[in-house]
Amino acid sequence: MSVPGGGGAPELYELPPGRTDLPRSRSRLFAGLRQEGAKGVLIAVVSTIAVFAVLTVVIVRSPNWPTVRQSFFDWQQFKSSLADVAPKFLRNIQYFMIAEVFILSWALLLAVMRSLPGPVFFPLRLISIGYTDLFRGIPTILIVYLLGFGVPAMQLPGVPRSNAFWAVVALILSYSAYVAEVYRAGIESIHPSQIASARSLGLTRLQSLRFVVIPQAIRRVIPPLLNDFVGLQKDTALVAFVVAIPEAFKQGQLDVSATFNYTPLLAVALMFLIITIPMTRLVDWLIARERAKRQGGAAL
Amino acid sequence: MRKMLVAVAAFGLLLAACAGNENPVVTTSPGGGGTETSAAPTTAAACAQQSSVPFVNAGTLTVGTDNPAYPPWYAGGDTQGTSWKINNPATGKGFESAVAYAVADKLGFTNDQVQWVEVPFNQSFAPGPKSFDFDINQISFTPKRAQQVTFSDSYYDVNQALVGLKGTPITGAASLSDLKDYSLATQIGTTSYDYITNVIQPNKEPGAYNSLADAVQALKSGSVDGIVVDLPTAFYVTAVQIPDGVIIGQFPNPEGQAPEHFGMVFAKDNPLVDCVNLALSELKSDGTLQAIQDQWLSSKVSVPVFSTS
């Protein structure tokens, strides 16, 4: 993994190499607009109207549209469901906040275990690799089901019997496998010369990992970590499959089954968007900032 | 551009309006099966002969229910070579299977002309074309639900019941207020969730599981103190799925309200509902429906009713 330019290694989230004219805009929404000036804006407006007009016609012309509109876009239903769903969304927030703390630390441990060198640490590497293979290979919903119902059913003394507890544990186990891989990519992206320098200063292998490699690695992988965090936020809806006490999605399902109207699910979707869209924009912004920094550095 | 937009919008509205007119509004009230016109058929068989009655497959009565087909609604097993679990609805055994065949008979269909299709609960009310003529799957009528689909008249007046584990404190409950401090759960799709939150108003937030199997599992493993299911299902659950389970009691009908009832589900405004309602009233007056109920469902009388004090 040697890359010209010193400390830099390929970034996980970077566009193809060789492109130096990367647009700075955070989301690429306005890509190519500024260069074209007023003409660009006009083209964008006309094209937007045309696309949305076609979409509207296609949707409204669908033979069953009146029924669909009533079943999915009932405004009164939406308002009353939103009032039902919003307080329950606090549970989703609780789930992903608790889970994220454990995911970040457990995954880091896994990644470090995997990057430990030498024959002595073979079993730790084995465990780490086996773990990530296992939990990345099983659909999260299955882990939620198996743990959420399986562990309480064992009725082990002293072990929590709450479905919710084990559902969150399942999310932690599943997501830490992904996040461990993100960390590992970060650790491996640190140039070997960094470790060599640290070692030559008299740091032990573990010390150089702790004080030199990991701090740089984490800083580098913050955007992909946040990406996985967004994924986790959405996947708290999976908890609904084993937990009876309603969170937002389950409450939406209850409202749907009480009314046979699907609009409540839109209210649930809105709750998730309120959290995930700002988060996604933040990730874009961080990536753009990091890239700007790097390009600034490279120009020196 | 703006002109074009306006034109597009107007075009869309026009289409929407046309689409709305394609489905003539059926104004018959439930039970009142179109008796106001002289030409209206008076028997279910004559009703089903009308060309205006649409069937999913002509010459066949297509009936939907969920899979697995649980007792006592379906019975007789015999699932080999089919995709059905636990029971095959096409045997005519079990309450809902027997009712469906009895209705089919009144409509003029032979047993061989009845086709069963698998319809998950969530699909029974999805907008769009239906895969069934009617769905019979322990679905309770509510006015809100009836805005989205059309229900037949009652084929069974249902009471909800509470199931707990033998020897646990909840089994001592005799009134609704005794239940306040327990954790209760239901199954999504039943009407009992609203009943628990509005009538029992427990101190612990009630839960709802996605399937009967999940709710049973939760009760067995002690995640909840009691589960609320309809009474016939409660008999089945305590007899087969949870041998140390017990029916603690059945819930009274909410005051001033008609008893909860199961209805067959039709696509909204499907005129076949009038024929099925005629069939149901014929089955009620000739005693067939009661006989089917006596054959397949246990008597409600043996289970104590929770007092409302």
Amino acid at A6: G
List, run by run, the mean pLDDT of 10-residue segments along chain A (300 residues): 42 50 60 77 91 91 83 91 95 96 97 89 95 95 93 86 92 97 94 93 91 92 93 95 92 93 95 93 86 67
Tell me the HSE value of B95 on the side-chain side, using a 13 A CA sphere: 23
Residue B230 parent element (H or E): strand B226-230
Give which of B251, B248, B139 is closest to B187, Cα–Cα. Answer: B139
Which residue type, as a one-letter code, is found at position B238? T
Of the residues B122, B148, B224, B225, the best mutation for testing chain A's interface (the one with the most A CB atoms within 10 Å of its CB) is: B148
**Any residues with CB less than 8 A from the CB of B29 and at least 6 apart, and which?**
none
Q: Which of A60, A149, A260 sits opposite B16 (nearest CB)?
A: A60
pLDDT band at B223 (very low <50, low <70, confident <90, very high): confident
Determine the pLDDT at residue B120: 93
CA distance A33 to chain B (A): 21
Interchain pair B12, A56: CB under 8 A: yes
Beta strands at B114-118 and B61-65: parallel, antiparallel or unpaired: parallel
* pLDDT on residue B33: 43
pLDDT band at B112 (very low <50, low <70, confident <90, very high): very high
Residue B27 to residue B269: CA distance in whole angstroms: 9
- Does residue B87 register a pLDDT over 80? yes
Kindly give the residue spans of alpha helices, DSSP state H, lying in chain A. 33-36, 38-61, 65-72, 75-115, 122-137, 140-154, 163-188, 192-200, 205-208, 214-235, 248-259, 263-299
Q: What is the pLDDT of residue B90?
A: 94
Beta bridge partners of B114: B61
The residue type of B134 is F
Judged by DSSP in three states, B115 sits in strand
Which of A49, A257, A265 would you mutate first to test chain B, the one with the most B CBs within 10 A?
A: A257
The helix or strand, by DSSP H or E, that contains position A165, with its residue range, turns out to be helix A163-188
CA gap B89, B66 in Å, rounded: 10
The amino acid occupying position B292 is: I
**How far, CA to CA in Å, does A89 sit from each of A86, A117, A242?**
5, 44, 17
Name residues whose C-beta falls within 8 Å of residue A227's C-beta, 6 or more positions apart in sequence.
A283
Subunit contact B8:A56, Cβ cutoff 8 A: yes
Q: CB distance from A71 to chain B under 8 Å? A: yes
**For the residues B19-43, what does the mean pLDDT come to?**
51
The H or E element spanning position A174 is: helix A163-188
B26: tokens are 């059926």
- B252-305 per-position pLDDT tens digit: 887 778 889 999 999 999 999 999 999 999 999 999 999 999 999 988 888 999
* A244:B223 CB<8 A: yes
| The two structure tokens encoding residue B307 | 């007092």
Tell me: pLDDT of B231 over 70: yes
Cβ–Cβ < 8 Å for A228, B200: no
Whether pLDDT at B98 is above 60: yes
CA dist list (Å): B259 to B141, B149, B254: 10, 20, 8
Residue of chain A with shortest Cα separation from B183: A245
Q: Please answer whether residues B33 and B277 qualify as being in contact, where contact means their C-beta atoms are separated by less than 8 angstroms.
A: yes
Q: Check CB contact under 8 Å for B209 and A64.
A: no
User: What's the rounded Cα separation, in Å, for the pair A285 and A272?
Assistant: 20
Q: In terms of Cα–Cα distance, which of A32, A26, A33 is closest to A289?
A: A26
Q: Do B5 and A49 touch (CB under 8 A)?
A: yes
Find all residues with CB under 8 Å of A67, minimum gap 6, and list them.
B127, B128, B268
pLDDT of residue B198: 85
Under a CB-based contact definition with an 8 Å cutoff, are residues B215 and B227 in contact?
Answer: yes
Looking at the partner chain, which of B127, B188, B221 has a beta carbon nearest the beta carbon of A254?
Answer: B188
Among B196, B221, B268, B270, the strongest candidate for a mutation testing the A interface, having the largest count of A CBs within 10 A, is B221
Separation in Å, CA of B92 to nearest CA in chain A: 28
- The pLDDT-based confidence of B25 (bands split at 50, 70, 90) is very low
Tell me the mean pLDDT in the region B137-164. Answer: 94
Closest residue on chain B to A148 (Cα): B218
Question: Which of B12, B190, B215 faces A57 most closely, judged by CB atoms?
Answer: B12
Closest chain A CA to residue B123: A260
Residue A298's pLDDT is what? 54
Across the interface, whether the CB atoms of B145 and A71 are under 8 A apart is answered: no
B166 residue type, one letter: K
Stronger pLDDT, B52 or A166, i.e. the higher one: A166
Instruction: Give pTM, 2 decimals.
Output: 0.79
Alpha helices by DSSP H, listed for chain B, are 2-22, 44-49, 95-107, 121-124, 192-195, 212-220, 231-236, 272-285, 288-296
| CB-CB under 8 Å, A261 with B191 | no
